[in-house]
Amino acid sequence: MKKLLTTMVAAVACYATVASAAEIKPAVVYDLGGKFDRSFNQSAHTGAEKYKEDTGTAYRDFEIQNDSQREQAMRNFARRGMNPIVVIGFSQASALEKVAAEFPDTDFAIVDSVVDLPNVQSILFKEQEGSFLVGILAAMASKTHKVGFIGGMDIPLIHKFSCGYTQGVKHSDPNTEVLVNMTGTTGAAWNDPVKGGELAKSQFDRGVDVVYHAAGGTGVGVLQAAADAGKLGIGVDSNQNALHPGSVLTSMLKRVDVAVYQAFEDAANGKWHSGTTVLGLKEGGVDWALDKNNEKLITDDMKAAVAKAKEEIIDGSLKVHDYMTDSACPM
């Protein structure tokens, strides 16, 4: 997995070898929010689509509508001989634990959670590192010295984003205040843009001028509210800079697309392995987005500050605290 950074390059090279590789029948099960949430699930969809484009291997996917469909969908795919089956999202863990035990010959991969079974690959991201970088950008872009964070469901994973972000903000400017809000405590919190917009407005009223969301489909409302109010939003998971050009400061990229692509490719090349894979800045699993939509918002100072922090995190001289390790944030 070390060569994830070079996946894009490797993809071209692999094209030739795939013909000889085993024919696979991959499948993806998305989380609530759906494959067009313009964020987390869509990133997975992009990866699968890219694999299909590069290799011509068709895949099947399923968008669940409620929690009880998780198991059904996985079991259905497994029974039809789909292999590997990549499931997206931490909430799939308990369903996968059951289904993976029932189908020991099928390879499964889960993004964002750990399932400890011999036929399951667990893919985790160091969201705190990517969030740290956008935190630096937020602090530097804020004129009011108040920045906001809006999370989706109130779970440790989202606190990991918020904690990394807060550390980044404080690293750049210890005097900048961070306001943190969560949308809800159920799965519906991933898909409630109206509530997201209201939360964003409430933060703007309290003086916030840059808001970062880690809220899936809910975040579309956050970015919309930021664009309406003339403030800056920060996207998450997918590159969301293009949703409101000029109003999205940057996006914290979580390369679920790379993970899905890699999982498919490993299966095709017979390099499938189980166990836990953690993708951070070093492995190219997380990053921040700079493109033509936000290049005017990012000054050279900002670029330099982020590049420096990125380098320090990669070489280990700057440690970003991971909320999941002790369920607490030092800030």
Partner 1 sequence: MDNFQMVVLLLDATMRTSTPLILAALAGMFSERAGTINLALEGMMLGGAFSAACVAYYTDSHWLGLGAAVLTTIALSLLHGFACITHKGNQVVSGMAINILMSGLTALVGIALFSQGGKTPALDHEARFQPITLPGADAVANVPVLGSLYSELLSGHNILVYVAFLAVPASWWVLYRTRFGLRLRAVGENPGAVDTAGISVVAMRYRSVLCSGFLVGISGAYLSTAQGASFLSDMTAGKGYIALAAMVFGKWRPFPAMFACILFGFLDAAATRLQGVSVPGIGEVPVQLVQALPYILTVILLAGFIGRAVAPKSLGRPYVKER
Quick check: 93 binds partner 1 (CB under 8 A)? Answer: no
Q: Between 97 and 198, name the residue whose CB sits nearer to partner 1.
A: 198
**From start to end of the chain, where are the E strands?**
27-30, 60-63, 85-88, 108-111, 120-125, 146-153, 177-184, 210-214, 232-237, 248-254, 275-279, 286-288
Query: By CB under 8 A, is residue 185 in contact with partner 1?
Result: yes
Q: Tell me how many residues contact partner 1 (CB under 8 A).
A: 31
Report DSSP state, residue 285: S
Note whether 89 binds partner 1 by CB under 8 A. no
Binding flag, residue 243, partner 1 (CB under 8 A): yes
Distances in whole angstroms, Cα of residue 92 to Cα of each of 98, 115, 159, 249, 303: 10, 10, 19, 32, 37
Whether cis (ω within 30° of 0) applies to the bond prior to 193 is no
Residue 177 interacting with partner 1 (CB under 8 A): no
Q: How far is the CB of 286 from partner 1 (least distance, A)?
A: 25
- Among candidate residues 121, 102, 101, 105, the one with its CA nearest the CA of residue 113: 121
Based on the shown chain and the rule CB under 8 A, indicate whether residue 194 belongs to the binding site for partner 1: yes
Residue 159 touching partner 1 (CB under 8 A): no
Minimum separation from the CB atom of position 250 to partner 1 (A): 19
Give CA–CA dist 157/152, Å, rounded. Answer: 10
Number of neighbours of residue 270 by Cβ within 10 angstroms: 9
Contact region with partner 1 (CB under 8 A), list: 5-13, 218-226, 263-271, 317-325: 218-226
Among the listed residues 36, 102, 299, 303, the single contact to partner 1 using CB under 8 A: 36
Footprint on this chain of partner 1 (rule: CB under 8 A): 34-37, 63, 154, 179-182, 184-185, 188, 191-195, 197-199, 201-202, 205-207, 217, 220-221, 224, 243
